[in-house]
Structures are given as structure tokens and as C-alpha cells.
Structure 1
Amino acid sequence: MTSIIKLHCLSGAGEETPPCYVLQIDEFKFLLDCGWDEKFDMVFIKELKRHVNTIDAVLISHSDPLHLGALPYAVGKLGLSCPIYATLPVYKMGQMFMYDLYQAHKNVSEFDLFTLDDVDMAFDRIVQLKYNQSIEMKGKGLGLRITPLPAGHSLGGTIWRISAPGEEDIVYAPDFNHKKERHLNGCDIERLMRPSLMLLGAMNADYVQQRRRLRDEKLMTTILTTLRGGGCVLVCTDTAGRVLELAHMLDQLWRNKDSGLVAYSLLLLSNVSYNVVEFAKSQIEWMSDKLTRAFEGARSNPFALRHVQLCHSAGDVTRTPGPKVVLASFPDLEAGFARDLFLQWAPHSHNSIVLTARTSPGTLARDLIDNGGDRVIEMVVRRRVKLEGAELEEFLQQQRMNVTNTVREEVAGISSDSDSEDELEMCVVTGRHDIPVRLETRLGGCFKSNKRHHAIYPFHEERTRADDYGEIIKPEDYRLAEIVDAEGEIRDVPPTAPIKQEQDEEMSEVPSKCVSSVRQVHVKAHVEYIELEGRCDGESLLRVVSQTKPWAVVGLRASEAALHTLKKHCESEGIEKVFLPSVGETVDATTESHIYQVKLTDGLMRGLVWRQAGDAELAWLSAVVAPRTHARESDAAPEEGGGAVSLEAGAGRPRAAAFVNTVRLHELRAALARAGLQPDLGAGTLTCCSGTLAVRRMENGQVSLEGVLSEEYYKVRELLYEQFAIV
């Protein structure tokens, strides 16, 4: 059976915007990824809102905001309620990405697009899968099957294979890497062979990539030169994706005593760095074969990072003395600790800024890649500061008024015979929590005698900072002893959990506000772009297309030049159909050219007369094809230009009854015997009623009834008709 296949591009088509597509297979609709750009573009959200109620399942391919950044907003604000499918590492690391993204923006602005509760709600809906685990869709998707395949590029990264009814397979491969890396295997090209449709991320179709050895040498040279010159190196990377490859590689370099790097500090800076490393330790089975064998053999965990210090604030970096290398999020330099350190270190020529990814056009990192450094850049600097003086007094006064109003409302609701508002006594807030207390002692107090207690919970217990003898407790004194194996390598030493400083605790309790200013930043630091994205380069991507031999290709998320390169290569390989859509366009990738989708109206269905035929029911349908006049608005939006039609009841020409079934004489004999007509079967003829009636099968397949007209004749004919479904 051939399915109707359509792809509507909400984002990530004809340009380098985040991937987000609605794939329709007959009546079932998949949302392929739900990414959001660094600027949180709301135009894309308006388009997503039109489709959110019609989506039946969501497939997430990678854990970074580029592929799932808008998921918390879609679930928390738009009401997306369908199942979401992703691998276990995408589920775990995706949460870390979104926690870090939220906190990075909350630290410098009144960020309200989504909350941490929205993040948790979205990820609670995720169905966690393993590689090669097939899941059958239900309901409208009966016959559809999804299978996650390894994609490389990031931990748990997925290429989705969607099997439609019949022989049609759809491969969705937005970002993948066929080459093995230090901590990841490459994608399995053999599992992608001969799909009917390949949805291909073609961003690198025209990109010429340096060999990995040369890129690693370039990174090492930049680090050594800067550190020996007394400077610091900022490596702009993500939260929980490509940072694992970098952290593992640099930790191995620091372990090499001949490298001369042991004297310098290596720091990993993000709001969730401790959790990211802990999760990476527990997901070794998702990593490369080399790391898996090392863990199974020597029980050496590759992410027991010996030389990487985990930091959770810019203050931790400042307190680390001497030249240092810092892996900080985010790679776009639009928010996060990487932007904060860039503002501090960029004006000094002895420092270096290493950019590891080509982020979206319009970001600070992309501007530095395209135009280089050694120039003055105008930047908006946002930060959160404590309220002081009159602002603090005004804030506290407003808080007191809010609590007073709340108490008045509670008092008014507790008892119907309570005092009037003029007789109520003013209450104030004391202590750390909202505890109503009277200004003066009076019998009866602020409340009537209703046996109620003051609200004194939650109780806050101060953390003990000294033992019973007054000695200051230092958590680092209680770390586990280092475990050294026979080769002198330290293995599986748990890093210390993040320790909040007193200043951080006080800051979280003091009211604050967000301020912004425009600063002219003279970028004197050495800016170096070293591509460490972990994607296929142009030559490899085109070779994968040649090997998989898809029947049709849709080029996604790429510049015009890259799409032109992909199209030219596909034409040379004899691929019949190549689609290069733009944002907002719908691609009709149906295999057959003369196939249409129609709706059965309610009036038509009510007029059908059903007949039982074994385990099935049959009805004769007489209808006409007409344009849909009462389509729902939610259904009409994706069908623009699709010419949706319906079947409506129509007056058909007179026709003869149709007899559906094949009569078996032995079954008819049993029915006659139950009626007491004494049947006898012999020589291909069924006789009954003392031989006066006979039922024969003719050469053309028809059945004839012969005999004397009598009451028994009509009984036999009725039993014969019951063997058919007459429509």
C-alpha cells in the first residue's frame, strides 16, 4: 500500500535556522525535532502553534537547544501533549542543556519564556528508547514503526528510520557523523540503505574539513602558546554534547607528563557541570567501542576526569590562580559564562578565544568567525544586581503590603462572623518566612478564636559550618583516596560536589534587579576558529548519499550554495527527485503520482447499511467526490494548496445486488441438517427433501438451486442466501 507523505517546514529549510518539521504520513503527523535559535525567535513559535494540536508524536534527534530548545515552551505554554520519543542520553543531557540555558538567561534578565517546571514537564513526556528498538505507532498511526539508529555527533544522537505501510522507509538524518571519535562511534550506514525518502541535513554539503590530526594540533598549539605567554584560553563549547569530546581529549593531554600542561589549570564551567560529568560516567555503553572495552577490562571510567576542575560560577574561575584553560558554555557567546569571560578576557592581547562551532548567523560567535577579532565590537551587557537604598526599602514595603493583603483575605475567608476590616489588626512579616505576628497583645489577637496556628513552615535550618569542637568543616578533607592502577593511572575518582559559597546564598536571598548597558569592547585577544562540531564534511556527506541510494532526497537546514551542491550531486547519481524547500513550504513526497486523500463525511457514514461477512462487515458505498466545505481550522492550515476533498452521499444508478462470499457445500449441508431437511452430499451435488431439491456448483463458479416449488424450496433458498453477504 502506498502512503501519502508530506513534509511541512516550520523552520530549518533554505537557511541555517533550527530544525523543526511536520511529517505527515496519511493521517498521522510527526514533529521532527523542536529546536529554537539563540535569539528565541517568536515568529517560528507562531507557526508551531498552528500545528501543535494536530501532532501525534515528536521525534528528537539530539540533546542540544538546536534540536529541542522549544520543547519546554511547546509543552508548558502551547499545550503539546503527545508522546515524545528520544534515546536515554538525549533525555538526560537534554535536561542539562535546558537547565543551563534557563539559568544562564535568568542570571542576567527577567527570562519568562519557560520555567524549570516547564522543562521537567516536557521531559516527563519523553519515552526513552535504545538504539535499534522499534516502536509501533497506535491509533491513526497503525502500521507505522519508528527505529532510532546511532548518528554520532553527540551522545545518544539519533537518525530516525520511519517505516510506513508497504515498502516505504523514511530516513530523517539532520546531523550525523560517520567517523569514529574518541568517545563516540560513527553512524551505521548499512542501516540506512535504499530509503524511499531521505530527509537530509545538508549544512556541510559544500564544506571542506581539515583532518582531525591537524585540528587537534592547532588547538594544542593555541593552548600551549597562550599559557606559556601568561594568558588564559577560553574554549566556547556547549553544556553536555560536544564538551564531552573536548573534556576527554584535554584530560588525556593533561595526563601526559611530557606535554608540560600539568602546571596549568583546566576548568569546566557551566551551571550543571557536576551533573553532566556524573551522567557521562553512567552512560559508557552509549560510547565508542574503545571506551567500552577499556571500562569492561580495567574498570577504568573514561570520565573520571583527573585534571578537570568543575566550576559553577565565574567566581570559581577568578579564584583559580595562574594561566588556565576554561571550557565554558555557550558556543554562540549570546549568553552564559562564555559571554561573561569573553567580556573580561577579550580586551587583553595575551589571552585566546577558541570558537568550536559555527552557530547561527547573527550571533556574536558567528560574527567573530566571519570577521575576525582585533576590532571594536558594540555589545549589550546585562547583569543582575542587588537592590540597595530606596529601591530595597520600596521592595520590602511592597512585600509587607502584599503579605498584609493576603492575611486580610485569609481572615475574611476563615469565619463568616469575623470582624470588619477596620477592626482587623495590622500584621507584619518577621523572620525568614511569612509568619503573621500582631503589633500589640490583645485578647483574641488578629484572628478569632478558631484554634488555628500561625503558619510557621517551612522551617529553615542553618547549615552547620563547624563541628562540635568549633573546628571549621572542610569537605575536601573527606574526599575518597585516589585509586591508582598498575599503570599509574588514576581511575574512577569521584569529583567533589559543587559547594555553594556564602556569597551565593546571600545573593539568592537578597532582592535584585536586571540592568543592561551598551559597552564598546576592543577585541585584542587572539580569536581562533577550530571546527570541533563532529559532523560529516561535504565530501563524506555526498558519499553517504551515493551509498544509501535513496529514491528521493529533501535537503534541509543549509545555505543556498550547499543546497545547490547537494542537488547537483544527486542529479549526477540518478536520484529521481530532489526537493529544496524553504521555510513555510510543504513538500509532497508521495511515491505514486495519482493518489489522493479524501474524507468520509458523517452523513455518508450514517447512511451505510452494513452486512456481516465472517469476521468483517461490508456495505455498498455510492458517493460523489466534492470539495470539503466544513473543514476544521486546525486541519485546514497544513493543507494549503493541497486540494482536500471529501466523499458525500450521491444518488447512484440502479444496480443488482452483489453476493459476497464463496459457498462451501459442506457448510450449507450443516445448515440444512440443523433445519431438519435431511441433506445428502455426493458427486458434487447437495440433495435434500428426499431428492426433490438439489444444489449444484456450476463451472463458472455460480451456485444453482433446482427442484420442485414447495415450502421446503424457499427454506433452502433462504439458508443458501445466508451464506452470502448481500450488499
Structure 2
Amino acid sequence: MFTFTPLLGAQSASPASSSLLELDGGVKILIDVGWDSSFAASKLEHITQHVSTLSVILLTHPTLDHLGAYAHCCKNVPQFSRIPVYATIPVINLGRALLEDLYASSKVAASVVPASALGTGSVAGEGDNEGSNILLQAPTVEEIAGYFNAINPLKYSQPHQPIPSPFSPPLGGLTVTAYSAGHTLGGTIWHIQHGLESIVYAADWNQTRENLSPGAAWLSSSTGGAEIIEPLRQPTALICSSRGIEKANPLPRKKRDDTLVTLIRDTISQGGKVLIPADTSARILEIAFILNQVWRENMDGPHAATYKNARIYMASKSTKATMRYLQSMLEWMDESVMRDAEAAMTGKGKDATVHPLDWTHIKQIEKQSHLEKALRRKSPSVILASDSSLEWGYSRQALQALAGDSRNLVIMTDKVTPEEQGPSGLGSQLWNHWQDGTAQSSSHSGAKVVDSSGASIQLRQPDTQPLEGDELLVYNQYLARQRQLHSTQQGDNTMPGDTAGADLIDDQASVSSESSDEDEDAEHQGKALNLSNQMTQSHKRKVGISNEDLGINVLIKGKGVYDYDVRNKRGREKVFPFMAPKHRSDEFGDLIKPEDYLRAEEKDDMDGADAKDDTAQDNALGQKRKWGDVAPAPKGRRDSKPQNKRSKVEKKHEPDDIDAAIARATGENVKENGDGDDDDESDSNEESDYEPEDASSEGPQKVVYSDLSLELHLKIAYVDFSGLFEKRDLQMLIPLIRPRKLILISGDQGETASLAGECRELLSGVSAAEVFSPLIGELVDASVDTNAWSLKLSSRLVKKLVWQNVKGLGIVALTGQLGAEPAPSADDKKEAEDDSARKKLKLIKPETEVKPAADGEAAAAIPVLDLLPQPTITSLSTPAQHSTTHPIHVGDLRIADLRALLRSLGHQAEFRGEGTLLVDGSVVVRKGASGKIEVESAAGGLAVPQYRTAGREGTFWAVRKAVYQGLAVVAGSR
């Protein structure tokens, strides 16, 4: 039995997706941790309230809709980072690149502190509707890398039994398997098997094969696409998304690609620039692959002059990392791409072909200065920029630069409605202009192109400022309160990914960066003491901490509290809150300070003449020196040459981009001959590569919005590159999948209602099939066990049971008589009276005494299944009756498991198509659509070896025996 609860995206305009599955035994699975472009922490409350009971987390796609809040939860939600996470390798790599780009491009992505969490003394931010504009600390690049390195990678069609979280009950044989979902590289359809429950979770899948990404793995290739693959057939419940099914004029893949290319060619031939907003590392790869291939094929064609003069730019903060990850994910791509890549790597001479992942015509841009130069180029260009919502990333900046030229074109690749983004969103305003505008006749692509000349849109531009005054005090109080809550829940005094006192800001004093290790320890100890002082009884009311929140820390922070109830407590709540001092050490033992072992004359030198020289004082023996500083020359030497060899290297090499250096070494960014506009973009110019970091990025900040007006003169077009399934795809698959329950998620109300009506008609012929369309937070009981009763087994019957084990489940055949529980006999009563333990007698008496039900009242006693009387057993065991019984085989045997078992027994077993196994070249094992196992043998398979030994039979009999070992053979009814 299991229940399902959508946490985000169900019947909602927000594309964010997150769901909760609760199985037998308290096993809870969180699927996806999505977010949207609003980055509101309040939308994650449904997720955070279940964190302490979660067992496993599964991720489906490397997009903002499915894992955008993953790093946020790891940093800000207690115990979230301790939950095991499972995903495919592309989801891990591309998702990491997405979040690195997100937090580097948008300060608002860190999310504001909820006004309710700031307490009664909160300071409302001016111009903020929610009353708070204080930003949380965004995760660093190192923290994001650590979060994604902790994810457990899986491959397609690989059953895996996950490890539960530390606070989860046993998983009870839970098995998860990933299958291709299309839509993105590594996109996953999850098959979850737990006991008798078979659950298929398919969110945002695409049945159509694309240029780079494969299609969803619903259909079996061995049957020519006529049947669903065995693990996804007849599930207990199919959880499917409904987003994007209502498309006005869906185009085939070839027609869609031609439309995009025609729009771009018409624009660049007139000297204009094309902006294509897309996500960072998922759907943008499909568009980049198409354009790179088109440029390669048309360098010698009739449009060669047009394509040679135009450049393609892929702009995001992590585009080079995305391209590096892509080179190692060839096995996850479409079969045609893999064949072309193998031909390019193995071919020689005339047979050699160009590698499909040779991004010769794609210029990668990570720095803002390079993007500005690309936008200033007089030659036409195509700019692929993040993000499709135009709320963050380089696409927003590029639109502002290109809006004033009527020759330019912006191509939207995904629908952005006002309900999803709000009326003030940049993407939703462009979508409204395209919908309300009149199509132009200048386009030969057949797509609707709207001229926005004279239109004006309003921008809400975010900016950040450091906290000051009362805002800083409120922020420190919030951090102190959060640390206390984390200390109670996690058993330490730190926040996830944070060090004690690291974020506390003292607006009255500052500490020098050249202080010694001892001074740094004293600094942290002082901040910890300040924190403890804030948590005293006198300050508790101001901060908003109660005794329950303090937990056992009330013994040292509460005034007049000398006792604490530790009964039924766990972990550190049972131990007096004492924190042992930390000792610094390295691989050689405890750290020592050289200044503690100076001779007397060396101390005099430091206190005397050397102390007068600031430089010498900073670089005195035992003191820290900044990296790259020149060491002082020893006394008696006239030359002033620096003795630090590393400093020479640092002076020789200015700050440079490592990724750009690797790209130059491998020849990824080779200049084309005759392109004179690239001199200002060359990576060899070190001054242009170096960009100083934002000085205001350190410390707590607040977000401040300013309203801008942008006048549009460019053209707007829309080509659907969302890569989602169509309604006809699901209408074709539902009769083949035949789910017992269908749950629709991830779509607005109109899409969900339309698809639910269609699916109810398709499942009308399936018995007990139901269609659910829950709201956010609504619990759905999707279990199939609707007819279940509770009964007791008598002790006499239990002693005669012979259990058989099938995949961790115990199976037994029962033949008994159901009736009321018998009253205790006289011997039982006397034995109970002689028992000295009265507690045991009290426990036995209510269970053994059965009172007759009164008139008109139902009997409250649970029925008991007992042995049949002896005459009945004899009559059921007659030869005539016994001859009509047949054994029942219980279980689901997998062909892959049978193959492994036969190989361990010394047989040769090979797959011959999906669902077919050839053993020793003479015996064929097939598994039909209904799950029936068929074993066929030639004459050689029935033969017995000449030198037969114990346990060595003919191939047919060995296979038959192995099949029976994987099933429970239950005798027929007697």
C-alpha cells in the first residue's frame, strides 16, 4: 500500500515539480526538488516539513523545474544533505553546471529570508511586497560541487536497492530502476518496486527521438514497438505529467528544425542578430547541436557567404563546464550520434568523418565582457543565452542590448505565461506581445513573426546592497535562532555547510586578515561567546527562542534552570551540553607555532629595530605572509631580488581562465580565417580575460528592486523546443501500459482536466482503473489493496505453516476454517491462575475472553483462522479430489536474474532479443506479455550427459530447475 502527495506543480501554473511517495513501513521517497524563477523559499515549505522522515531522494531531469532548489535545501534545511540522493550521471553533471550558472548570475536565487522567520523585530524592506528583502547566503561553487558529488550515480535499466537515510526505517527490499525519459540527456523515468507495489514515475518525458537526445524507453525494440517493456507494464500506479500537452500546431521534429533554421537565416542575411533564450545545460544543447551541424553543412553551399559571416555564441556562466561534461556522455545520446562518433574515431582517410561533438562553430562565452563585445560586433550573430524565462542569466542582458534594432530577432523556445511568471516577468511580457501581435509576411519559415516596434515593457531590475544598522542586527538574530534550531535537530552548533559564527557580522569591530592562528581561534571563540550571550534568558524574548527550542542547552543558557528531563530523548539531548576544545593538527601531529621557540636574540630583533619597519613586522619570523608577497632579504645582502620563486611565477602569469587555456590547448576554439572581428575577443588578451570580483558579494546582503522601461523594436517569434510529449503519444501508450491507477501532475488546471478526461475514456475497459488529478498537498491513496481484512491465526495453524521465500517475501498456502476466537479452556484458566505475574494475566484476559455481542451490535472480536476438523481434512484428501489440484507458481522471474543464475552453474546463456534467452545453444526461455515463462528445447537439450554427476542434468532440466528456484511453488487447495 502506498500514498502519493504532490508537493509542487500539481494543477499549478508554476513549472516546478516535486512529489512524495509513502510506502509500507514508513518508507518515504522524495522525487525532484524543483523551483521556478521566483525563487521563493515559501514554496518549499511542503518539502521541508517532510525532511526529517525522508528515506531516499530521486532526481529526474537537470533543469530548474526538477532540481533548482537542491543546493538551497542542502545548505539551509537541516538534515537534508544526509539523505541519499540517486540520479543518472548526466543529471548530476548538467545539474551541477545549471546551479553554478544560476548562483553566479543571479543574487536573487539565494532567496530572501521569510518575514515570518525574522521575528517580531524584523525590518520590512522598502518596495518588497512580502515585507522582507534580506537575502540568505548563497551556496558557493565548492559547496555546490560537494552536494552533487554526494549523489549516487545510476545507469539505465540497472536495478538498485538504495541505502536509507540515518533517520529512516528499513526499506524492506525497495528497488529503483532508471529508464530513459527523453526531453533531456539522462532524463529518467523511475520504476519503483516495493513489495507487491510497482510504481512508474514519468515526469516531462518525450517519446520522439531528437537530434542529440534519445526518446523515452516505453516500447520494446524486440517486438518492433508493439509492446511496452516488461518492467513498465501494468504498474500499480502510473504518475505522469500533463504539462505542455495542449499545443496549437505541433510540428514534427524535421519541420521544427527547418523552421528554426529558416528564421535564423532570414535574420542574419539582413545583418541582424538572433537571440535564443534557453536553459543552461539541458534543452540548449539540442539547439546548439542543430546549429553547429547546419553551419558545418553550409560552409560550401549556396548560403555559404551568409553562414561564414555569422557567428554562434553560447553564453552562460558555466558553458565551458557543460561542454566538457558533454564530451564524456556519448553513451547517453541518440544512437545516430553514437554511430557517427564511432565512425569519426575509427575511420581513416576517405572514410573519416567529422566528429558530431566537434563544436567548431560554437563560441563559448562565460565572461560578461566577452558577451558585451559579441553584442557590439557589426557582423550578424546567433546568441544562445541562459535562461528561457529571461529573469536571470545572460539572456536578459542580451535582450536589453538588442531591443533597439528592428533587424534583430528573439526566438522563444518555451511558453512563458503570465500565470507562471507574473505580469511583470520579462518572458511573460514578450509572450503576450507575440500572442497579441499580427504575423508578418516577411518570413519564409511559416512561423508567426511579430514586429514589436513601438512597444514598451517594464523591467523590475534587482540589485543587492550590504546590510547596515537594524537590518544587520535582525539578520544576526535570525542566524542565532537558526543555529539553535539546527543544534537541537542535528546535534551540533552549526548550520549545514557553515562554520560556527562564520556569518555573524560585527558592525563595530573588524579583524585583520594577517592575524595568527591563535588570534583567529580567539576571534571564533569570542563570536561563540557573543552567540551564547544572545541566547540567555534576558535576551530570549527579544530573539524569540523558547525553552523548547533551546533543548538541553537551557541548562547553560537558561537563568535559574538546573534540571532537564532526558527521558525518551535521543542523541545529544541526553548528554550535558559540553563542547570539548578543538586541537589543530596535520599529518605530523599537533600544529606548533615557530614564534614560541624563538631564541632570546631573535625576540629582541623582533621587538627592536625590525618592529619599526612595517614590512619587516608583517613578514617577521613566525608571522603569516600573503601569497605572492616578496620575502625580506637577509641581513648583509645588498641585492633586493625576491627569494620566493613562486612569486616570480605569480607575477609572470596574470589571472586567467583555466577553461579557456584548456580550450586553446585542445583546439576547441579555433579561429576561422578571414574573420577580422575576433581580434577583440581573443582569449590571448589577458587583460580582457581578467574580471575583478564584485566587492559587495561578501557578507549579508539585501535585494533592492528598481523599475526600468525598455522600448522594443525587434521582432519576436516562437518555435516549440520544449521537448515534451503530445497528447496523442499518451493516448497511444495508455492502452498498452494498462495502469491500475493514473495520477496526473505538473500541469495547469486546464491541461490536467483535459488529459484526465481523455484518460478516463481510455481506461474505461480496465477493471478497477482510476484517474486522479490531485492539488498541491493533497494526499492520494493509490494502493490497489482495496479489499483487505484483518484476522488472527491460531497457534495450532501457525505451527504447521511451511514458508517459502520469494525476493524477501514469505509465501505459504493456507487451508483453514474462519470463525470466532475460542474461549479459554479450564486448563488454560488454571495455568493462568497459577502464574505469579499478574501483568501477564491482565494482558491475556482481554484477548482470550470473548463476550457474545449484544443484540444490534457488531462483534468487536477479530476472526480467527484455525485448522479444519479431521473429517473435513480426510474428505478433501481423497484421490479423486487430489487429482484435480494443480500447483500455483508465485513470483515474478526476471530473465536477467535467470541468466546470471545459469552462468553461475556453468551454462552458456545469451540474450536473443528482449525477453528471450538462449541456453547452451539448445534451450530457449521466453517470457510472454502476461509474465508466463516458456521453456523450449531441441533434442540436444533433453539429453543427459554421459558422465552424469551429482547436480549435473541435461540443459532442459537444469533450466527448469532454475526457473522453479526463482518461484514459490504453492500446492493447490486440498
Q: Does the alignment reach a TM-score above 0.5?
A: yes
Q: Pick one of 20, 23, 27 that aligns with 1:22.
A: 20
Aligned residues of 2:87 and 2:153 also touching (Cα < 8 A): yes
Contact 2:210/2:253, CA 8 A, preserved across alignment: no
Q: How does 1:92-111 map to 2 (within 5 A)?
A: 92-106=93-107
1:309 deviation in Å? 0.7
1:543 CA drift (Å): 2.2
In the other structure, the counterpart of 2:637 is none
For the 8 Å contact 1:8–1:22, the answer to whether it is kept is yes
Which residue of structure 2 lines up, in the alignment, with residue 82 of structure 1?
Answer: 83
Is the contact between residue 281 and residue 301 of structure 1 (CA under 8 Å) also seen in structure 2? no
Cα distance change of structure 1 residues 413 and 538 upon mapping to structure 2, 3 Å threshold: closer
Q: What is the CA–CA distance in structure 2 between the aligned matches of 1:249 and 1:77, rounded to whole Å?
A: 39
Distance 1:108 1:660, change over 3 A: closer
1:381 corresponds to which residue?
461
Backbone CA RMSD of aligned residues:
4.3
Tell whether 2:511 aligns with 1:454: no
Task: Summarize the Cα distance change of 1:518–1:504 in structure 2 as closer, same or farther, 3 Å threshold.
Answer: farther
Q: Secondary structure, in 3 states, of the residue corresponding to 2:170?
A: helix
2:775 pairs, out of 582, 592, 612, with 582
SS at match of 1:652: helix
- Which residue of 2 is the match for residue 535 of structure 1? 724
Match of 1:202 in 2: 242
5 Å-filtered alignment, 1:143-154, equals 143-154=173-184
Q: Does 1:365 align with 2:411?
A: no
Q: Deviations over 1:158-180 (max 9, x none)?
A: 000111212x3111001111111
Q: Which residue of 2 aligns with 1:337?
A: 394
Distance between the aligned counterparts of 1:597 and 1:41, measured in 2?
46
Matching residue of 1:263: 309
- TM-fit CA distance, 1:265: 0.8
Are 1:133 and 2:133 counterparts?
no
Contact 1:153/1:242 (8 A) holds in 2: yes
Aligned equivalent of 2:945: none
Structure 2 distance, partners of 1:63, 1:378, is 31
Q: 2:733 aligns with which of 529, 544, 555?
A: 544
Larger strand proportion, structure 1 or 2?
1
TM-score by length of 1: 0.70
In structure 1, which of residues 344, 347, 352 is the aligned counterpart of residue 404 of structure 2?
347
| Secondary structure at the counterpart of residue 308 of structure 2 | coil
| CA-CA distance at 1:587 after TM superposition | 0.7
Letter of the structure 2 residue corresponding to residue 14 of structure 1: Q
**330, 354, 367: which one pairs with 1:313?**
367
Q: Displacement of 1:148 after TM fit?
A: 0.2
Deviations 1:415-438 (A, max 9, x none): xxxxxxxxxxxxxxxxxxxxx9xx
CA contact (8 A) 2:516 2:624 kept: no
- Judge conservation of contact 2:103–2:109 (CA < 8 Å) in 1: no
Q: State the number of aligned residues.
A: 570
Cα deviation digits, residues 190-227 of structure 1 (max 9, x gap): 23322121100011333241222332232222212221
Are 1:48 and 2:94 counterparts? no
Q: Measure the CA separation in 1 of the matches of 2:170 and 2:413.
A: 43
Cα distance, 1:226–1:55 mapped onto 2, change above 3 Å: same
What SS does the corresponding residue of 2:307 show, helix, strand or coil?
coil
Alignment correspondent of 1:712:
none
C-alpha change, 1:457 and 1:406, in structure 2 (3 Å) is closer
Whole-angstrom CA distance in 2 between matches of 1:580 and 1:482: 49
Deviations 1:214-244 (A, max 9, x none): 3223222221222122221111011111111
Aligned residue in 2 for 1:603: none
Matches of 2:865 and 2:708, distance apart in 1: 86
Identical aligned residues as a percent: 24
Q: Distance in 2 between matches of 1:169 and 1:337?
A: 43
Alignment partner, residue 286 of structure 1: 332
| Aligned partners of 1:346 and 1:353 also within 8 Å | no
The amino acid of 1:315's aligned partner reads: S
Per-residue CA deviations over 1:594-648 (Å, capped at 9, x if unaligned) read: 45999xxxxxxxxxxx99999999xxxxxx9xxxxxxxxxxxxxxxxxxxxxxx9
Q: Structure 2: how far apart are the matches of 1:240 and 1:405?
A: 38
3-state secondary structure, aligned to 2:846: coil
Judge conservation of contact 1:233–1:353 (CA < 8 Å) in 2: yes
| Uncovered stretches (5+) of structure 2, i.e. residues with no partner | 111-134, 164-168, 219-227, 346-353, 435-451, 467-505, 523-594, 596-604, 630-646, 654-659, 671-680, 792-797, 805-809, 811-820, 822-842, 851-863, 868-872, 877-974
SS, match of residue 216 in structure 2: coil
**3-state SS of 1:136 partner:** coil
* 2:456 alignment partner AA: V
Provide the C-alpha distance between the structure 2 equivalents of 1:115 and 1:308, rounded to a whole number of angstroms: 28
Work out the CA distance in 2 between the residues paired with 1:442 and 1:197. Answer: 79
**Do 1:281 and 1:302's aligned partners in 2 also have CA atoms closer than 8 Å?**
no
Give the superposition deviation at 1:367: 3.2
**What letter corresponds to residue 746 of structure 2 in structure 1?**
R
Q: Is the 8 A contact 1:227 1:324 kept in 2?
A: yes
Report the alpha carbon displacement of residue 340 of structure 1 after superposing the two structures with TM.
0.8
> C-alpha distance in 2, partners of 1:74/1:455?
37
Structure 1, unmatched stretches of 5+, are 387-397, 415-435, 468-473, 485-495, 599-609, 618-623, 625-647, 662-697, 702-727
Distance 1:477 1:275 in 2: 11
1:531 match: secondary structure: coil
1:492-526 CA-to-partner distances (Å, cap 9, x unmatched) read: xxxx9977953664522755798753210112211
User: For the residues of structure 2 that align with 1:88 and 1:199, how far apart are their CA atoms?
Assistant: 23
Most deviating of 13-22 and 398-407: 398-407
Match of 1:222 in 2: 263
- Looking at structure 2, the residues matched to 128 and 202 of structure 1 have their Cα atoms a distance apart, in angstroms, of 27
What is the TM-score with the length of structure 2 in the denominator? 0.53
Distance in 2 separating the partners of 1:333 and 1:482: 28
The one-letter code sitting in structure 2 at the alignment partner of 1:507 is P
Q: How does 1:709-720 map to 2 (within 5 A)?
A: none
Please list the CA deviations of residues 661-697 of structure 1 after superposition, one character each: whole Å capped at 9, or x if unmatched: 9xxxxxxxxxxxxxxxxxxxxxxxxxxxxxxxxxxxx
**Compared with structure 1, are the counterparts of its residues 614 and 183 closer, same or farther at alpha carbon in structure 2 (3 Å cutoff)?**
closer
Q: How does 1:356-435 map to 2 (within 5 A)?
A: 356-359=413-416, 360-362=420-422, 363-372=425-434, 373-374=452-453, 375-382=455-462, 402-404=510-512, 407=515, 410=518
Asked whether the equivalents of residues 176 and 536 of structure 1 are also in contact (C-alpha less than 8 Å), the reply is: yes
Give the distance between the partners of 1:539 and 1:32, measured in 2 at CA: 26
Q: Hey, what does 1:176 align to over in structure 2? A: 205
